[in-house]
A and B are shown apart, each in its own frame.
Chain A
Amino acid sequence: MTGFAVLVVDDEPGMRDTLMAILELNGYRASSAPDGETAVAAVREGAFDVVVMDVRMPGRDGVSVLEEMGDPPPQVILMTAYAQEERLRAAVKASAFAIVHKPFATHRMLSLIADASRAVNNVSRAAQ
């Protein structure tokens, strides 16, 4: 489970910092990006297994970023504080791994990230 690279994308520094701290505490390699543009660039440059991303951000929103993820795309967990049904349906179509409503139980987020990492593992094993 450890050693997976996770990118946290959120315009809220508090969320970025605490989530990174939690991930590191649980053995993940965590990085962060404050907006969608930076996130797209980061995913293209570095190989991230899992992306945890807020839906509503200034500039590009999480769903549009999800649609532009690299090949092979990382597993993306979307976080939302809003009930934007249309955008979320689009996100699901663009194969988000999961959608989590803020505020979430930290245990729940961790178990979702673990599931997503396992899925990455399976995909890469299948690719080999």
Chain B
Amino acid sequence: MAEATDRGRTQRKRVRLRLRLISAVTLVVLGGAVAASSLVAQNAIRDQERVLLQERAGEAASVLAGAFAGVQDSLELLGTLAVTNRGRPSTFASAARSVITTSNEGVLVTAQHGTSMVVTAATGNAPAVGQAIPADQDQLARRALSTTGMVSGVLPDGSRRWLAFAIGNAAGPGTVVWERAAFSAAASAQLPTGPWGDLNLALYLSSRPEPTALLAATTSKLPLAGGVQYPFTVGADTWLLVASSPAPLVGTLVQDTPWIVLGIGAIVAALVTTVVEIQSRRRAYAATLVEERTASLRRAVTDLEQAQAQLVRQEKMAAMGQLASTVGHELRNPLAVIMNVLYLLETMAGAGASEAMRRHLATAKRETSAATLIVSDLLDYSAERVPMSTPVQLADLMTEALSVVPPPTGVEVVTHIEPDTDIHADRDQIRQVLLNLITNGYDSMPDGGVLDVSVRSAGDSAQITVTDTGMGMDEATTSRIFTPFYTTKSRGIGLGLAVTKRVVEAHGGTISLQSTPSVGTSFTVTVPTAETMASVPK
């Protein structure tokens, strides 16, 4: 039980160091969900940002397109004026001046004159009438002549650049009507202010963001990274507005939403995981407790069952013991009578008895003694008899014992008995010990042999040795030889040596043996000569 608790504690301790599977799964799932939500939010916000940027760029483009929408009409009108009022340049000039708003701008009409374009009318910031326009501006003029509608372009001119609009054949075939405005060479920050104030814009006079076509921009950091492109038409050309936003259009808070989602999600995931972990541990702890209690209950039940079985067994044994005791006692009277009869027969036959009769009588005496011994052993084992101590002549007792159990045919008994070896003991019990040792010796020599019996004083004790030349025993048998009901013999109940040992030890003595298979066995019993038990009052 204590061991199980310790094990449980160690297990709990070990688990404390790492998450349980369920908690780990919860953490992973929630973490994944949070990360996914954050990504989705990020994508949605990016899309929103893009849509907003697109819308704002569209607005800017339409403002710009609107600003230049009237230019084509003005140029066509000026062309018509130039044709109808040829020879009255003042009419053209006054009309043209109404178009021009700053000193940087100018309006002019050119006509093909040989291979070059020659100015035929001019107002504002423009070359004088009769002058040929620079060759690099010819290209725009030619495009204007071959195109229906207004064309536009950026024309470099030293430290300046021109934004030029041109429409071909407006003042008669081969003529081009121009309007142009001077810009500084640097393109940045030249876009007029408008509703796009917080945007970065770049305006290209082509459908692609080519640096040469750049007209103006609100920043010098070009090309604009991550910007949206918004193409729109001015006359016959397509212009391109590229817009980007230095600050999020959706607002800083919205921009940070994915991180907020991620942060709050992480906290929630951690909390949920903690709760799951705590619950899981509680459950595991409860389960361990239940397991331990169940195991202890089971053990208790098993113990109870064993105790009950033991009780039943003991009751059975007690009943058997009672029966054995009764039968044993009842056998003692007839056995006593038989022994008397044998004595009478032996005495009456006297010297006249034949050798065969003597042998038969000896066998009858030995077997009766054996039966007596079994009964005595059984009774002594089942109900312990309190020894009654009296002075005992060990030499006489051994002689008597040998006469009670005469040796079987083929067995020779050799004795070394010292006289006057007196001890204080229960005579009947010590006699039983001697009889047990002698009959054991006989039984181990079915094919005959020598039984050496010795009784001698050894200091303050008497020593009895019974040695046979019989079959001997192996170590396994020797180790169990004093166990009750253990026997290697075909007869007997295996109590002789158990009772012998008990009696010897009750007298404060010892019993030991030496045995070699096929050589023989030697039992040595030592009994103190002095009184070791309460003597019987006389």
Contacts and interface: CB of A to CB of B under 8 A. Distances in A.
Interface of A: 12, 14-15, 18-19, 21-22, 25, 79, 81-83, 85, 88-89, 92-93, 99, 101-108
A89 B334 CA distance: 25
B370 to A, nearest CB: 12
A15, A88, A108, most chain B CB atoms within 10 A: A108
A123 B347 CA distance: 31
B403 A105 contact: yes
B385 A15 contact: no
A88 B336 CA distance: 19
A18 B336 CA distance: 10
A12 B386 CA distance: 27
Nearest to B379: A83
Contact of B337 (A18, A92, A105): A18
Nearest to B386: A85
B416 interface: no
B333, B344, B385, B403, most chain A CB atoms within 10 A: B333
A21 B379 CA distance: 30
B95 interface: no
B475 interface: no
A15, A18, A89, A106, most chain B CB atoms within 10 A: A106
B341 interface: yes
A82 B428 CA distance: 13
A27 to B, nearest CB: 12
A90 to B, nearest CB: 12
9 contacts: A18-B340, A22-B340, A25-B348, A83-B379, A85-B386, A99-B388, A104-B339, A107-B343, A107-B400
A105 B404 contact: yes
B337 A14 contact: yes
B379 A12 contact: no
B385 A83 contact: yes
B163 interface: no
Given A12-B337, A83-B379, A83-B383, A103 B344 contact: no
The 4 lowest CB-CB distance pairs between A and B, nearest first, are A18-B340, A103-B336, A81-B332, A106-B343
A81 B329 contact: yes
B333 A92 contact: no
Interface in B524-538: 536-538
A18 B537 contact: no
B537 A92 contact: yes
Contact of A19 (B340, B388, B400, B538): B340
Given A105-B403, A107-B403, A25 B344 contact: yes
B341 A18 contact: yes
B510 interface: no
B332 A102 contact: yes
B329 A82 contact: yes
Contacts of B538: 92
